[in-house]
Chain A
């Protein structure tokens, strides 16, 4: 009896309640919007509910595992995931022009999704090991560890996931103490680069311009973002329709299940990447800002956990995972409201899909693990 009680207590203690509350709130709103997006009865709603139950379980299990174990497993997980990515490149299943899935016989998996977790874990472990002797070369090693999976995923091609993996890696390096002398120029260069692209849009998007590293469809996405009106029936359709949806929501929204853009199918991918458009149309600016606030809380809670963590592993892991959440939200909402190109990044806890939800659950579980370790340490 007592053993069971202890186990239960340990399980309850494993949970970081502020984080859990924020996530639960987001999940509840997410399901509500999903119900509207699918328009009444549809298998997607039932599916998504089941995924949530499953995700909750995963989150809890991951939260119980002591972070020190995870630290030890990190290199193995990374190498295995890398092997799977190579496997995808060699024998992956191709669908809609992209090779992202690997059929292992028992299950079909998407290794790039695992990499979102495996990379921060590995870098956290690496920087922990090198803690007292950190030098410039370590960051070069880290950059290589980031670059390999990044390019494998870009090649699939899956720009969205590659972006998330890349940001996770760079964030880890930043939090591990990469010199500001390097961080600031890179940041400035990136902003300047985007500025240049916006400025020279016309010549860059001319059909004869070849973008060398990017695929034709990726060029199309960027160019369509810069000027969606050029292809209203094709590539620009997504952005045009989603901004109309968001804009028509106004301050208060058009009411739950009453947005014409969403209900009449004008929003493309309305259950997955563009679900925010459905939400913003029906709940308006107030709703959208509330949601942004909730996501901000999630990220800040993650950063707080990082700040309180007792070792480099916990700090780097928690902080870079928080930045992954941030990029998820920023890129997804940014593309829905026409700020960023349409890259396939889902909205956490909102977009339909079991794989993405599982990854999120693992990330939240890891944050909880780091948080618990800190609390047990301070209890001691």
Chain B
């Protein structure tokens, strides 16, 4: 018979044995704690007590002054100025509400500031300063100073505040600073530089301010002070001065930048102008823009909503973040590809009846025009899409991809602002990765046709188009495009200038480059850009472009009929003077229609300003 009782009894005995073992382990672990406590509180007591007393010295961070941002001639884009602030030591005030009420009799504190103050009060230690107001006027500061004795625990201080004197101009280049957020702190901790940000309340959030944060910020100093038992500083014991951040000299020319932004006349779009001999970015336009000053002390809700919800997306950095079809401005590069791969000669003639047929599909020229016999030169001058469509049977998408890649199409250019996008330079590989379904992964010949005229799957940034134009302009040198020309050391005024050899060279036959360049020159004389460049005083090479967003299905295109946001983008790419170019640029105006009517005139204004404008005064530059 099964003795149930004895089994449970046996189980219980075994269990109790295990409980004893566990109790023994607990006892041992607690003894370990006890022993460690004895070591700390008896053996090391005196030393640690002394260290506790030494803790009466508090180490205060001395935040550095942030570096200025200047244009290539020294014009200021970002600087610091002094503002008065009110900080509160929580330990020395009573409850928050009565305190704020009392203070309110002397100085105005907005509801938002009150709310922020109370939230910070909860998080802060009792001796950490909590900011209450950080934008006191001189009058307010003087008024408070007279009343300060009534408010122990409230400190009036001066602090550096970031300011952008150019306002909306070049805002996407400079970017802005904002308060150090939790996410920023984590990123800094991961980099091991969080300590350097003690006492700093702002950090670069966008643009140069962000990408050059490590240079602009500087090194935080340290001041050890003796404090009373209540935590009040009595005297300074030791001090390491902060090292101010270094100034940045941009390659941007603010005169050119202003002319370029103005030339957009309120229309949405992007422009990048590059010095093709160095890769220096001379103008970098993203329209519409915003006022970076709004962000410095934390943007208010209404302004944020206005910016963020605007249909014009003023916060989007269009030249690097916007990816567009670039239309015919792609054709000079396709022409070069045809020459380089030997598929066509400069004088090969193609008959252009106004369309190209592939199977049953007709691909039409823009504006339903037909141009008859077309060679390479004429194809660019009149902008014959058919000339390029017909290449589809001669060149594969992958060889086109391989030719375009070293120009920077569909690649990040690595320019020193944040949020640059890659875009799409289509290839069979790309399509395999981009689509999930087997059927969609296949590359169809008709798709090559669209890509050849800068449409279809291709999507590039204006930065990429400008960079490719620059490579074409100088005959094949790919310089890394950059916005920061030099670092300027604030103490000595000396500069470290960035001058680097090209990253790589695109292997091009000078004869081919000359053929394309001459055709592009003709574009501005008798071609699509002739009106915009009438009576120009220097030779200009360029190409207009009109990029379709809307499938017209063979119907005649009428501006008025198409909804504004679906209208074509107006584009221009070009360089001047075409013999030895000093400027290469790319322009896109969103939904503005023909490239020749909108983008080309902007290019004229910018090129005139650069090529004919007052030669920049370079004398004051100190070369180390």
Contacts and interface: CB of A to CB of B under 8 A. Distances in A.
A, B in one complex: yes
Interface of A: 39, 41, 43, 95-97, 132, 171, 174-175, 177, 216-217, 233-234, 241, 243-251, 260-261, 263-266, 280, 284-285, 288-289, 292, 295-296, 299-300, 303, 306-307, 312, 315, 319, 322-323, 326, 330, 333-334, 337-339
B33 A323 contact: no
B29 interface: yes
B41 A280 contact: yes
B306 interface: no
B82 interface: no
B55 A234 contact: no
A132 B33 CA distance: 40
Interface of B: 7, 11, 14-16, 18-19, 22-23, 26-27, 29-30, 32-34, 36-38, 40-42, 44-45, 47-49, 51-53, 55-56, 59, 91, 95, 122, 125-128, 182, 186, 189-190, 194-195, 198, 227, 229, 231
B56 to A, nearest CB: 8
Contacts of B53: 260
Contacts of A303: 19, 22-23
B41 A174 contact: no
Nearest to A242: B40
B202 to A, nearest CB: 20
A248 B49 contact: yes
Nearest to A268: B125
A97 B188 CA distance: 13
A375 B15 CA distance: 19
A204 B266 CA distance: 59
Contacts of B18: 174-175, 177, 319
Contacts of A339: 32-33, 36
A265 B52 contact: no
B91 A299 contact: no
A288 B18 CA distance: 28
B126 A39 contact: yes
A322 to B, nearest CB: 8
B37 A319 contact: no
Contact of A248 (B52, B95, B125): B52
A269 to B, nearest CB: 11
Given A264-B127, A285-B38, A307 B32 contact: no
A279 to B, nearest CB: 11
A191 B190 CA distance: 30
A249 B49 CA distance: 8
B41 A288 contact: yes
A296 B229 CA distance: 36
Given A333-B33, A337-B37, A265 B45 contact: no
B125 A265 contact: yes
Interface centre among A43, A263, A264, A288 (most CB of B within 10 A): A264
Contact of A247 (B15, B44, B190, B231): B44
A330 B49 contact: no
11 contacts: A96-B186, A234-B195, A247-B52, A250-B49, A260-B229, A264-B229, A266-B52, A289-B34, A292-B34, A306-B15, A319-B18
A266 B55 contact: yes
A133 to B, nearest CB: 12
A247 B41 contact: yes
A284 B229 CA distance: 20
Given A315-B15, A319-B19, A260 B37 contact: no
Contacts, number: 139
A243 B22 contact: no
B181 to A, nearest CB: 12
A300 B20 CA distance: 10
B37 A330 contact: no
Contacts of B40: 243, 246-247, 337-338
Contacts of B128: 265
B55 to A, nearest CB: 5
A5 B133 CA distance: 61
- Interchain residue pairs A-B with the least CB separation, the first 4: A247-B48, A248-B52, A247-B40, A285-B41
A41 B15 CA distance: 49
B334 to A, nearest CB: 47
Nearest to B40: A247
A214 B198 CA distance: 27
B551 to A, nearest CB: 39
A96 B33 contact: no
A319 B26 CA distance: 12
A260 B51 CA distance: 11
Contact of B51 (A234, A248, A289, A338): A248
B126 A284 contact: no
Nearest to B29: A330
A257 to B, nearest CB: 12
A39 B523 CA distance: 79
A251 B22 CA distance: 30
Given A97-B186, A248-B52, A319-B22, A292 B33 contact: yes
Nearest to A234: B195
A188 to B, nearest CB: 13
Contacts of A217: 189
B45 A264 contact: no
A264 B45 CA distance: 19
B19 A307 contact: yes
A330 B33 contact: yes
Given A292-B30, A292-B34, A299-B23, 19 more contacts: A97-B186, A175-B15, A177-B14, A216-B190, A217-B189, A233-B198, A234-B195, A244-B55, A246-B41, A247-B44, A247-B45, A247-B47, A248-B45, A251-B45, A285-B37, A315-B15, A319-B22, A326-B26, A338-B40
Given A296-B30, A319-B19, A330-B29, A249 B55 contact: no
Interface centre among B11, B26, B182, B195 (most CB of A within 10 A): B26
A303 B55 CA distance: 43
A289 B34 CA distance: 7
A39 B91 contact: yes
A216 B44 CA distance: 32
B231 A265 contact: yes
A334 B229 CA distance: 29
B241 to A, nearest CB: 18
B52 A260 contact: yes
Contacts of B182: 95-96
B132 to A, nearest CB: 19
A319 B34 CA distance: 23
Contacts of B56: 260, 264
Contacts of A315: 15
A328 B363 CA distance: 74
A295 B182 CA distance: 37
A177 B29 CA distance: 22
Contact of A299 (B26, B38, B47): B26
A101 to B, nearest CB: 15
Contacts of B190: 216
A249 B231 contact: no
A372 B446 CA distance: 82
B194 A234 contact: yes
A285 B36 CA distance: 10
Nearest to B43: A247
B19 A261 contact: no
B26 A250 contact: no
Contacts of A241: 55
A300 B23 contact: yes
B17 to A, nearest CB: 10
B43 to A, nearest CB: 9
